[in-house]
Amino acid sequence: MNLRHGAAFAAAVIASLPVSAQPASLPGLTKSFSPTTIAPGGQTVLMFLVSNPAGNPALSNVSFTDTLPSGLVVSDTPSIGGTCANAAAATTATAGSGTISVTNLDVAAGSSSCSMTVNVTNASGRFNASCAFFPAAFTNTAANMTISNAASSIQPSCVVVTPPATASQPVPTLSSLVLAVFGMALAFAAIRLLRG
């Protein structure tokens, strides 16, 4: 086989190889908490939503890691789930840890969307009375994420962890006997004044 024929043969072989479909644009990724207010030790569901635009092929390589803010951890019952075909199998979320990792998530061809969910709770002894100013310890943002083969559309999402009620202190009261003695002393003093 001469050089020209060899080059033509190589080109024909390469052309016959299957080519993986590439997305026209990356799928979008968002995340949110529901509910956004919990009692200490309560659970909120952290949901990641992947949206594959119209015309995009099915994907099996969407990956991301979420490092939770310091006031939150994976619940003792993570209950990993979601609507993505392999949501549970693709996800690592260990109870009590601060990291959620998703590797090679399957996403259907666009236009479509699917979710991955995991239960989250407050870290021991950590509370948050308000999300008005997005406290860093309880606010999950795009900066908490590393993402592969998806585009971040993430907005800050915060969780209120209601602080435990402070026990009210009893108000000191005078006993009936003390009040009676005090009354008698006032009466005696009044009599002395009247007698001059």
The domain that holds 38 is classified in CATH as 2.60.40.290
Q: What is the pLDDT of residue 192?
A: 72
**HEC sequence for 6-65:** HHHHHHHHHHHCCCCCCCCCCCEEEEEEECCEECCCCCEEEEEEEEECCCCCCEEEEEEE
Q: What is the pLDDT of residue 175?
A: 64
Contact residues for 110 (Cβ-Cβ < 8 A; gap 6+) = 23, 27, 52, 53, 54, 55, 56, 57
Is the pTM higher than 0.85? The answer reads no
pLDDT beneath 50, residues of the chain: 3, 13-14, 17-20
- Whether residue 49 is contained in a domain is answered as yes
* Beta-strand pair 91-92/44-52: unpaired
- Whether residue 42 is contained in a domain is answered as yes
Q: What is the pLDDT of residue 6?
A: 54
- Whether residue 170 is contained in a domain is answered as no
- Whether residue 11 is contained in a domain is answered as no
pLDDT, one tens digit per residue, over 36-62 is: 999 999 999 999 999 999 999 999 999
- Whether residue 187 is contained in a domain is answered as no
Q: What is the pLDDT of residue 20?
A: 45
* Beta-strand pair 44-52/59-67: unpaired
How many structural domains compose the chain?
1
- Whether residue 188 is contained in a domain is answered as no
Distance CA 112, CA 54 (A): 7
- Whether residue 75 is contained in a domain is answered as yes
Q: What is the pLDDT of residue 157?
A: 98
Query: Domain containing 48: what range?
Result: 20-161
- Whether residue 174 is contained in a domain is answered as no
